[in-house]
Amino acid sequence: MDEMIARKEGRAGRLTFNRPSALNALSHPMAMEIEHALDAWRDDPEVSLVVIDAVGDRAFCAGGDIAAVYRAALEGDMRPGREFWADEYRMNAKIAEYPKPIVAFMQGFVMGGGVGVGGHASHRVVGESTQVAMPESGIGLIPDVGGTLILARAPGRVGEYLGVTGARINATDAIYAGFADRFIPEADWGSVKASLVETGDIATLPHGAPPPEAGRLADLRPEIETGFGGADIHTIKATLEASGSHFAQDALKAIGRNSPLSMEATLRLVRMTRADNTIRGALENEFRFTWRACEQGDFVEGVRAQIIDKDRNPQWKHTLNSLPEADVAVMLAPLGADARIEFA
- Please give the positions annotated as active site: 64, 113, 136, 144
Question: CB-based contacts of 78: which residues, under 8 Å, 6+ apart?
Answer: 72, 294, 295
How big is the chain, counted in residues?
Answer: 344
Question: CB-based contacts of 22: which residues, under 8 Å, 6+ apart?
Answer: 65
- Of the candidates 32, 94, 142, 121, the one whose C-alpha atom is nearest the C-alpha of residue 280 is 94
- Conformation bin of residue 304: beta by default, left when phi > 0, alpha when psi is -120 to 50: alpha
The radius of gyration computed from the CA coordinates of the chain, to the nearest angstrom, equals: 19
* Cα atoms found within 13 Å of the Cα of residue 293, Cβ hemisphere only: 34
Question: CB-based contacts of 67: which residues, under 8 Å, 6+ apart?
Answer: 307
DSSP 3-state assignment of 32?
helix
Rounded Cα distance between 19 and 26, Å, is 9
Chain-centroid distance of CA 54 in Å reads 16
**Contact of 74 with 80, CB cutoff 8 Å:** no
Strands 123-126 and 182-183: parallel
